[in-house]
Chains A and B, each alone.
Chain A
Amino acid sequence: MCGICGCYEASEPADPELIQRMLGALRHRGPDGSGYYRDESVTLGHTRLAIIDAAGGVQPMTGEDGRVWVAFNGEIFNYVEIRTELISRGHAFRTRSDTEVIVHAWEEWGAECFRRFNGQWALAIWDRRTRELTLCRDRYGIHPLFYAFAGRRLVFGSEVKALFCDDAVARRLDPVGLDELLTFWAVVPPRTLFDGVRQVEPGTFVTVTGSGVSTRSYWSPTFPQRGREQSQDIVENAERLRDAVIASTRLRFRRSDVPVGAYLSGGIDSAVTAALVARFAANDVQTYSLRFADPEYDEGEYQRTMSDVLHTSHHEVVVGERDIADALPDAIWHAESGLLRSAAVPMFLLSELVHRSGHRVVVTGEGADEVLAGYDLFREDKVRRFAARNAASATRAGAVEALYPWLQRSPALAPAFAQSFFALRADPLDPAMSHRPRWGSTAVLKTMLQDGVRIADGDAAADALIARMPSEAARWDPLSRAQWLEIRTLLAGYLLSSQGDRMLMAHSVEGRFPFLDPDVFDLAATFPARQKILGLDEKHLLKRAFSDLVPTDILRRPKQPYRAPDAAGSLLESEPDWLHVVASSATVESDGIFTPDVVARLLEKCRRTAGKGLGNTDSMRLMAVVTIQLVNELFVTNWRRPSAEPPQPMAVFGNHRSKD
């Protein structure tokens, strides 16, 4: 895990001071050292968090002849196997790092090499032979990679703040990005929240030459035609899934020169990955958990059950509302995005705990809900389809109570909930039927935007996303289409970024995700949808596959989505100085994003209730206003370039070492 940055301008070498500023801005991603390569057209920069081959992995790196240079953030977990193949094809290696494998793989196979990699990466390859710069990101978007133009110069980096170190890059929010954020809870790649700043889409690579920029896909999620799945045997499918997850976790455990710890959330996914890590580890395993002072959100009981079973050295951080409120500005600085929920902030505090404990690699269960169908949204879609088959049937309409038994205990709430649940567009032919309720309830937030930044067509974001769905998706199972939408929106745009990489790397911690392994993903995609959610039992195949490793208490507990307390109460109670700045009427007015009257009324309502008992929509509205205003304050109106020096030692390569 590291940070990368650089620039390309066909006939103009970059200013070394620029690359050093960018390296300083990415210091937290790689505090162990830095380096850059510079020639007449390209500069590649790298800050290093040493995890594999600490002695030999200095970057940027080249091969024997200096014609291909690589700056790389991430891990190629199957680099040992690829290295062996490349050696058999005549390539000579100077190090045992995975970065050098990328250099030779590019020399041997060109862009085809990306399909061979099993890993998580954001990388830049400068091929002096063809004068092409290639920017590539892993299949799922685990690691970030942004680029923008500053006049004729293209600048790129692991974080937007590195791009903004170039004063010629425009800094302003993108109304379309805002519209996506306030629809999907995340901005969908290649767009970002910043106008003109693009991110390399997961599973694609961008080629930059003197004549322009082009994008090509090397992977995208796909599913079999409904009813034509290869294997219908649920027993065999669970066994194959088990083998794949074990192999994936083993790979992510073994390919590290530093100890690998594990997160324990209290749910099944992290219980499985932690149990497998404990099985592979020769020594004591360190596990890390997030606890909440508010018992409504706390999963400590289940976390401790699992750590007791595995006999791990367990570490906890207990987070209260006030902690979330206090850490919010730092979390937004790292996330570089607005948030509609506070859940990312505790992850920032958890990675801080890992860092303080002296560790830098953790395995987590991220991705299992998308790959193996764990979200309530997927089950809701099944129930809504069941109900839609006969709208007159009270039995079918009552199925919602099987999802949410509390409705039976709250008869006063049940009719209203059922009405809101079923009244939404439930057209089985709608490719986004699964996501309409979420998108619809989120889109209410757009009414707070000023006319100048609000996209007039309220369905524009959804329509654009659906237009990108592959044509064969019409023949997929509805669950597969819902998985595709979830992977394309929330996984890459939020879970792996605002709540993932950015919160982990804020404290120089690398996350590894065994469920986001191409073998696991591709295998899981072939399973019949009905086996992933058996009846209404989510992630059924995973539970079946690992019933011997996970205690029954955890296996059978109802799905508990990761949630954090809303920080509204504490925010308004403590009224930190920054809140007065970003949410004052004068700032809201001058920023021109939200309607000042609407924000004033929202804040007044929140103050009146001290943030307690705020409804779901008002909580999201408050988070949206506060965090988007923070983003605007930190990156647009009051932007201050990070003043950190590049991490030392710093290595300099290339033929333009000083300013020409």
Chain B
Amino acid sequence: MAQGDRGFVAGEIDRLWQSGESTQSRALAIAIHIEDAFDVVLPEATLTDGTLHTRTGIDALLVRYGAR
């Protein structure tokens, strides 16, 4: 994905964050979306340590992958 387009993914993640799904389902959907969008494989720890359960953790990932 072009660098200039990465910001759009942040908006998509916002949408998933506000989806009203359970915490687990939402975290999974966000993990799948981040991996799809940025062609990355999230470390196992990121999937299990609660990073995807908090807005702060997700924002940090978006910064890491150039979407913020």
Contact = CB atoms under 8 A, between A and B. Distances in A.
Interface string B10-24: 011001100100001
Given A395-B44, A395-B47, A395-B48, A535 B8 contact: no
B58 interface: no
Given A227-B1, A399-B32, A530-B36, A537 B19 contact: yes
Given A399-B28, A535-B26, 4 more contacts: A232-B5, A395-B48, A535-B30, A535-B33
Contacts of A531: 12
A538 to B, nearest CB: 12
A23 B28 CA distance: 57
Nearest to A478: B36
B61 interface: no
A230 B13 CA distance: 20
Interface residues of B, number: 26
A611 B29 CA distance: 39
B47 A534 contact: no
A393 interface: yes
Interface of B: 1-2, 5, 8, 11-12, 15-16, 19, 24-26, 28-33, 35-37, 39, 41, 44, 47-48
Interface stretch (A248-256, A298-306, A369-377, A382-390): A382-390
A402 B33 CA distance: 14
A473 interface: no
Given A227-B1, A390-B41, A534-B15, A402 B29 contact: yes
Interface of A: 227, 232-235, 382-383, 386, 389-390, 393, 395-396, 399, 402, 529-531, 534-537
Contacts of A386: 31-32, 35
Contacts of B29: 402, 534-537
Contacts of B25: 402, 536
Contacts of A383: 32
A356 B16 CA distance: 46
Contacts of A529: 36
B44 A389 contact: no
A408 to B, nearest CB: 10
A233 B8 contact: yes
A232 B15 CA distance: 15
Given A386-B31, A530-B37, A536-B29, A232 B8 contact: yes
Given A227-B1, A534-B16, A389 B48 contact: no
Q: Which 6 A-B pairs have the closest CB atoms?
A: A535-B29, A232-B5, A232-B8, A395-B47, A530-B36, A227-B1
A389 B35 CA distance: 10
A530 B24 CA distance: 20
Which among B2, B35, B36, B44 has the highest number of chain A CB atoms within 10 Å? B36
Contacts of B41: 389-390
Nearest to A392: B44
A390 B25 CA distance: 19
Given A382-B32, A382-B36, A390-B44, A534 B1 contact: no
A208 B36 CA distance: 47
A245 to B, nearest CB: 20
A530 B33 contact: yes
Given A232-B8, A395-B47, A395-B48, A536 B1 contact: no
Contacts of B15: 234, 534
B12 to A, nearest CB: 6
A403 to B, nearest CB: 10
Nearest to A382: B32
A534 B37 CA distance: 10
A396 B47 contact: yes
A557 B6 CA distance: 30
A535 B16 contact: yes
